[in-house]
Structures are given as C-alpha cells and as structure tokens.
Amino acid sequence: MKRVCVALVLTCAALASAQQADVDRYVREHQQAIVRELMELVAIPDVRSDLPNIKRNAELLRGMLDRRATAEIAMRLVKENSPRQMIDRVLAHIRRQGYFVVEADPDAATLAAHPRIAKVTSRGGAASGAWRTDPETPAARFITDALTARYGGRLVRIRTLGGGVPAGPFIDAFHVPTLGISLANYDDNQHTDNENLRLGNLWSGIATLAAIMTAR
C-alpha cells in the first residue's frame, strides 16, 4: 500500500505546558504588583454584615478583572479558510469595539495614550491550516476496510474537521494522504484542567491501531 500519514488525535499536554509557562513568566514580571493588590484586598474587612466594605471588596475585585480579563478563542477552520486572514478579521473586530491592540504588555506611555487596550497573541494557528482527505482515496479505503473489519457498522467517517490538529506542515512536506483517527473520549477536557483519558478508550485505541497495523 502507499504511504499513509495517520494523525492520531490523542490527549496532549503541550499546549497546557505553554500556558503554564506564560503564567509563570507573568508572575515573575509582575510579582510586586500582584502582592500589592493582594495586600489591598485583604486589608478590606470582609464581614457579611459590613455592607459598605463588602461593596468595596466587590469593586476592587471587579477592577482587577477589568484590568486583566482574558478570553481564549480556539479557531476551528476548514480548508478554504486562510488562518492568517481569520486572525486578522478577529483583530479588526476587536479594534472596531474601540480597543487599541498590542502584542506585548503595554508600557506606561501606551496605557496613558489609550483608554481601552487589548493584548492579543496567537499560538501556532497562523501556520497550521485545516486539511481534508477524500475518503475514497486508496489510502482512506484501506483504513476504512481495516476498521470496518474490527468494528463492523459502528465506524463513522467525516470528510473534514476543523483545523485544530497541526498536520498541515506534514502534508505539505511529504505529500501523503492523511487521516485522523479519534481515540480519546469526548469529555477528555483536552488541553485544559482535569485532562483525562478513559481506560476504555485506551484499550479500544490499542485495538484500533492494531487493526490498522495488521491489516493486509
């Protein structure tokens, strides 16, 4: 059979590690400000019957969130989308809301010059677009037959998925048909808190790969 590149959709901690590194770096660079804000917060009495200070607590917390509110957008693209163009459209939308967009933490001059600032960074999305493989190619038929022999009529084939699996560079480099085999459970919390893999999915994943590797 022709060479086939199979992208295994497994749980991966790489993105979570990158996010933790960002958090660690932010703490190192802003440690004094973090401690100062914490001291301001704990200095306010926090007794349920003391309504004025309860309000002060709420206002201080709201101010903290306003200064560093964070939103994360996971773009799921199709092959016809340009990742760079989609990111540029998001940036344009943010600017239309009145924000001055920066890629790094703004300095004092930038903060003084703009009432609304949004720091926007991207991770790899601009370099990895979506990909699609015709399910009727010989390679796809080979995988389909191998898994049908193992699972019968329970096999589900999807022609395209969002561009979240970075297989594009491999496809461009090796020019081989590429298929994604989903092994993890649907509620695995991939790349976030409490990431998990059910043992049942681990065992069925082993059986799935064995069926492909031993097919003739």
Q: How confident is the model at residue 150, as a pLDDT? A: 92
* Statement to judge: residues 106 and 150 lie in one domain: no
Phi, psi (deg, nearest 5) at residue 170: -70, -40
The answer to whether residue 149 is domain-embedded is yes
The answer to whether residue 51 is domain-embedded is no
Helices (H), the chain: 14-29, 31-42, 51-68, 83-96, 108-113, 138-151, 168-174, 199-213
Q: How confident is the model at residue 202, as a pLDDT? A: 95
* Statement to judge: residues 162 and 120 lie in one domain: no
Q: If DSSP codes are grouped into helix, strand and coil, which group holds residue 69? A: coil
Residue with tokens 């973090």: 34
Domain count, the chain: 2
* Statement to judge: residues 109 and 177 lie in one domain: no
Q: How confident is the model at residue 90, as a pLDDT? A: 92
Q: How confident is the model at residue 143, as a pLDDT? A: 93
The answer to whether residue 49 is domain-embedded is no
Q: What is the mean pLDDT of each run of 10 residues along the chain (216 residues)?
A: 43 51 78 86 85 88 77 78 87 94 87 88 66 87 93 83 68 84 88 88 95 93
* Statement to judge: residues 153 and 114 lie in one domain: no
Q: How confident is the model at residue 161, as a pLDDT? A: 62
Full-model pTM: 0.54
By residue range, what is the domain housing residue 99? 82-127
The answer to whether residue 185 is domain-embedded is yes
Can you give the CATH number for the domain in which 189 is found? 3.40.630.10
Q: How confident is the model at residue 17, as a pLDDT? A: 58
The answer to whether residue 73 is domain-embedded is no
* Statement to judge: residues 92 and 103 lie in one domain: yes
DSSP per residue over 112-146, as a string?
HH-SSEEE----SGGG----B--TTSHHHHHHHHH
